[in-house]
A and B are shown apart, each in its own frame.
Chain A
Amino acid sequence: MGSLGSLLARERAVIAAYETAVPVLRGEALRVAGEIREQELEHARVLEGLISERGVRPPSGRRREDYARSFPKLVTQADALRFLEDLEQRQVRAYLTALAELPQLEFRLRTADIGAEEATQLAAVRVLAGEPASPNPFETGAL
C-alpha cells in the first residue's frame, strides 16, 4: 500500500494548495482551480477506496495550516499559477512512477486514469498562465 499511500498524501497536499491559491485567483483561473480541486478530491476518494478495500486504513491527512506552512507565499495570480504548475508537474511524475512500479494491474489501471487527469490539470494551469497546453511530446512531469 506504500505507493498508493504516497499518492494519497500528494493528492491531499495538492487539494490544500488549491485552497491556499483561491484568495489570489480571479475569473476563469478561480473557476478552473475550483474544478481541479473537485477532481483532486475525487482522486483522493478513489485512492482511499483502493487502500481500504485491502483492509488497510488509509493514512490520515495533515491539518490545512500544516500544509500551508510548507507552501510559498502567494501574492499574485501569476505566483499561484507557477506554484500550481510545479505541483501538477510533480503529480504527473508521481503517477508515471506508479505506472512502472505498482505490482498490481488493477492499481495501475486506476492510477493511470487519475494520472491522465493530472496531465489535463497541468495543461489547464499552463493555459491559464498563458502558456501552450502541450509544449512537450513526452510529458514526463518533474521531480
Chain B
Amino acid sequence: MAAGALLALPAVALAQEPSDAERLQELRALEGRLESVYDAALRRNAIDPALGETLRDQEREHIRALEQVLENLGGAGAPQATVPLPGLGPALRSREAFARFALGLEQEATGAYARAAPALAKDTIRQPVGSIMMCEAAHVVALREVAGIPLIEVRR
C-alpha cells in the first residue's frame, strides 16, 4: 500500500480492535507455552506426575478446542513459534519453585482469557472460551496448593 493511501485511511481503521481469530491465536499461543512448560516439568520430575499430566493434557484439550474454533472462523493460521521461556530453567530445580513459576503463567493465562472472552464479537464462542478461562482459574488453585500458598487470594 502506498504511503498516500495509508494516510487516507480513517483513524478508526488504523486503531482497529483485534479480530476474534487474532484474539484466539493469542490464547492458542499461551496454551502452547503452558503445554510445553508442563512437558518440561514432567521430564525433569519438577511436578507430581499425576498433576502434571492432568494439567498438560487439559492444556492440550484447550489447544484442540481453540484450533477447532479458529478453523470454523476460516483458518487456524500457522502456529506461532515458541521461544524459550525466561526463568523456566531455575524453576525446574524443585517442585515448589516450578509450582510458583507455573502459577504466574496460569494467572497470566486466566487474565488473558478474562479480557479476550468478553470481547469476542461472535457471542456463541464466548461461553466455550469462558469455560477454558474457568479451567485455567482452577489450575491456579491446584498450583497454589502445591506451592503452599493460600488457596484463595482476597484483594484487600
A residues engaging B (CB < 8 A)?
Answer: 32, 35-36, 38-39, 42, 92, 95-97, 99-101, 105, 108-109, 111-113, 115-124, 127-128, 132-134, 136-141
B85-131 with Cβ < 8 A to chain A:
110, 113-115, 117-119, 123-124, 126-128, 130-131
Binding site secondary structure of chain B: helix
**Chain A proximity of B77: nearest CB distance (Å):** 22
User: Is there a chain A Cβ closer than 8 Å to B26's Cβ?
Assistant: no
The contact sample of 17 A-B pairs, CB cut-off 8 A, is: A35-B152, A97-B127, A99-B118, A99-B130, A112-B115, A112-B130, A115-B134, A116-B134, A119-B135, A119-B138, A120-B138, A120-B151, A123-B140, A124-B152, A137-B132, A137-B135, A139-B131
**Chain A proximity of B83: nearest CB distance (Å):** 25
Q: Contact check: which of B62, B131, B138 meets A96 at CB < 8 Å?
A: B131
Q: Which residues from chain B contact A118 at a C-beta distance below 8 Å?
A: 134
A127 touches B141 (CB 8 A): yes
The verdict on A137 contacting B141 (CB below 8 Å), with A32-B151, A120-B152 known, is no
The verdict on A108 contacting B141 (CB below 8 Å), with A99-B127, A139-B135 known, is no
Closest to B146 in A: A133
Closest to A117 in B: B137
User: Is there a chain A Cβ closer than 8 Å to B28's Cβ?
Assistant: no
* A133–B106 CA distance with the chains assembled, in angstroms: 14
Binding site secondary structure of chain A: helix
Q: Which residues from chain B contact A39 at a C-beta distance below 8 Å?
A: 152, 154
B residues engaging A (CB < 8 A)?
Answer: 54-55, 57-58, 61-62, 65, 110, 113-115, 117-119, 123-124, 126-128, 130-142, 145, 150-155
B114 touches A137 (CB 8 A): no
Q: Which residues from chain B contact A139 at a C-beta distance below 8 Å?
A: 131, 134-135, 137-138
A138 touches B131 (CB 8 A): yes
Q: Contact check: which of B114, B127, B150 meets A116 at CB < 8 Å?
A: B114
* A126–B87 CA distance with the chains assembled, in angstroms: 31
